[in-house]
Amino acid sequence: MIDRYAVIGHPIGHSKSPHIHAAFAAATGQDMSYVAMEAPLDGFRSTVTQFIAEGGKGVNVTLPFKVQAFELATDPQESARLAGAANALKFEGDRILAENFDGIGLVNDIQHNLGVSLQSKRVLICGAGGATRGAILPIAAQSPASLVIANRTSAKAAALAKEFSDRTQLSGCGYEDLQGESFDVILNATSTGLGQDALPLPPGVFASDALAYELVYGKGLTSFLRQAQAAGVTAVADGVGMLVEQAAEAFAWWRGVRPDTAGVIKALTVPLV
């Protein structure tokens, strides 16, 4: 019997995950299927339960169900526990294992695909939501010179930094507190990538040779990336590589083989113009 996997979200029609995992399966010779499933906003648990009953082996989880996925797990792994959210589940008998691969996917894309080492770099993450939470420790593990979280509500950024203070050294602040600071890698983990609003970043926050990274993918030049270019930044990227790299981590977790990602990233990349 073919092994069944899925991605669950609401809405889900835009998801690239079925294409990505079909490419991975073909490249690695895996006998599996992978489909997109839209769960009702109040029906994530029942959707997963039914999928397990029908023989499902694992699922990816996207918005707005990542926290519910974590809460459903019987065996959350460290990445999911620290993030308080899961983007991948694996079903083994009565156990539901949970992982969060978003952070490692981000780091892999920056370091391996974009060729930018995070070691000894000054790193700024804009936003203090779930995406930032999942990225903190994978980035900190690369030994940056500094790691700062900035948010419109400074107290939220400070609280998040304090929550991780026993695991790594980082700070949280408001955007106004960045005056006079400069960073080598600036990540936009806010929702501004989906709209036209610009972040209130002070002049000089982008170092001359900085990397500006938008976690949203497929939107072309977002307001954040335009901000970076206006500040003289030439190295800009969106989150398509992160999307594919986190998918590869989930695929390897499920199937025991890690697929090559370069071809899939190239196929999904939207020019940043």
Catalytic pick among 16, 57, 66, 90: 66
| Nearest by Cα to 234 from 208, 203, 196, 200 | 208
CB 250 within 8 Å of CB 257 = no
Number of H helices, E strands in the chain: 10, 12
Q: Is 16 a catalytic residue?
A: no
Q: Which of 219, 220, 222, 174 is nearest to 201 (CA)?
A: 174
* 89/5 Cα distance (integer angstroms): 10
- Residue 131, classed as helix, strand or coil, is helix
* ∠ Cα 162 144 154 (to 5°): 35
Are 165 and 191 in contact, with CB atoms under 8 Å apart?
Answer: no
Pairing state of beta strands 171-174 and 146-151? parallel
Burial of 53 (0-12, 13-18, 19+ CB in 10 A): exposed
Q: Is 241 helix (H, G, I), strand (E, B) or coil?
A: helix
Supply the residues annotated as catalytic: 66
